[in-house]
Amino acid sequence: MSSLDVSRGVCALVPGLQHWLENALYAVRIVDAASPREKDSRRVLLATEIGDATHRDILINLIDGAPSLVAAANGLPARVAFGIADMGFAFALIAELARPVSVPAIGDSSSARLMTLAGRVARSDATVLIQGDTGTGKEGMARFLHAQSGRNGHDFIAVNCAALPETMMEAMLFGHKKGSFTGASNASEGLFQAADGGTLLLDEIAELPLALQAKLLRALQEGEVLPVGATHPVPVNVRVIAACNRNLAEEVAAGRFREDLYWRLNVMPLELRPLAERRGDISAIAAAMLLRLQDMGKGGFVWPTAAALDKMSAHGWPGNARELGNVLQRALVLRDGDRIEGGDLHLGSAPQIAVLPVQASSQPIVQPIVAPVELVIPAEPIRLRDVARHSKLEAIRIALRETDGHRAAAARKLGISERTLRYRLAEMRELAAA
């Protein structure tokens, strides 16, 4: 938990700020603006208290009219001016301006409780299993665990298991000796040895093949890895954090994941709920993303209106924080006015790109479409394998339609991995273009 000093004048002017900051995982101390301060402390002060401010502080001003944010520069503190209508987003913005890089953006009380628990887990050296839908912030949680642990002076290495080539998974994780296989012209230490002393995040761990799961189990139990082509194991001191967007218990029951590895990973389970179930985080994440997406040195900071925030709060967010980021980025580009209005938020399924058939005298035309690719199925497929293939692709199309194009949810509905779903979607596009 980060500490933040708030002046008595600020608490009197905007009494709700303290409650918001506490939900955002700050330990708030009420201080006099002119009181002595600790080294590197940060304070939220009134604009009229600028005489007691340093460049690390945040000055606020309650005004009538359009809100504004001026970033800290030239030795001056950041300044936030807002009215009653924009107070909710202003609170989120103040919290994000003071937030350490390693702490995820939160504003919901349930998220604050989860992060408090995560802080306690971080101080142990136990293996952690983070589960949650795609876009719920699993890597951000893993980075928080590393930053709060005694390993924060060493490397944090994140690897997406779904992105590793299957033929190279073992060598990339555990290393290999020179000449151990075709193309191994040099030795490689592997990701476990690269993370020695620090933390290794194995994201999408359900994508690991069963044979490799057994080797991972041994590495966790024995604290050593056997590089490909080696005859002697290499000791490693690594804290492993596993993450998955599927229910690993269900994967075990289906025979796709080893039960012994599941119990070895599931020492400290953390479950990240969908964004729609933690509405208080929406403003916090939106503030963090808008700060990251905008260069305030070029045209100032663009604020969302209260109506836009209400629209975001009412949306279901099947794509979670990733969808929110896409929506905000589009709104910044496509907005008509000086602020992000409700009408600037294009919510719903993200457009997909389809290549239309080539006409006699033209090149292929690329156009956005909203619905998933429609597949024309012959009324009477001739071969049995064609029947089976068309049935599978039709099931995928229906699952995508029922989940509003959310691939992770569609994959879960179908009982397949996201990687398998990507292969099937590529096949659908090829058939549609044929």
Per-residue pLDDT of the chain (434 residues; tens, 9 = 90+): 788 999 999 999 999 999 999 989 899 999 999 999 988 889 999 999 999 999 999 999 999 999 999 998 888 999 999 999 999 999 999 999 999 888 899 999 999 999 999 999 999 889 999 999 999 999 999 999 999 999 999 999 999 998 888 778 888 888 877 766 666 667 677 899 999 999 999 999 999 999 899 999 999 999 998 888 788 888 999 999 999 998 999 999 999 999 999 999 999 999 999 999 999 999 999 999 999 998 876 668 999 999 999 999 999 999 999 999 999 999 999 888 899 999 999 886 444 434 444 444 444 433 333 333 333 333 444 444 444 555 667 678 777 776 767 777 777 777 677 777 777 776 666 655 55
User: What residue type is 285 in one-letter code?
Assistant: I
Angle CA 338–24–205, to nearest 5: 100
User: What residue type is 416 in one-letter code?
Assistant: I
Residue linked to tokens 């191994």 = 184
- Looking at 324, 344, 364, the residue that finishes a domain is 344
Residues paired with 376 in a beta bridge = none
The Cβ of residue 350 has, within 10 Å, a number of other Cβ atoms equal to 16
SS (H, E, C) 373-396: CCCCCCCCCCCHHHHHHHHHHHHH
56 and 178, same structural domain?
no
325 φ/ψ angles, rounded to the nearest 5 degrees: -60, -40
* CATH code: domain of residue 158: 3.40.50.300
219 and 130, same structural domain?
yes
Counting Cα atoms < 13 Å in the Cβ hemisphere of 218 gives 15
406 and 258, same structural domain?
no
**What's the token pair of residue 96?**
């994000």
Pairwise CA distance, residues 318 & 257, whole Å? 26
- Looking at 272, 296, 317, the residue that finishes a domain is 272
What is the pTM assigned to this prediction?
A: 0.76
Identify the helix (H) or strand (E) that includes residue 262. Answer: helix 259-265
Task: Dihedral sign for Cα 79, 84, 88, 89, please.
Answer: negative
360 and 305, same structural domain?
no
Task: Domain of residue 190: give its range.
Answer: 109-272
Quick check: 48 and 39 in contact, CB under 8 A? no
- Looking at 233, 257, 272, the residue that finishes a domain is 272
Pairwise CA distance, residues 315 & 406, whole Å? 14
- Total domains present in the chain: 3
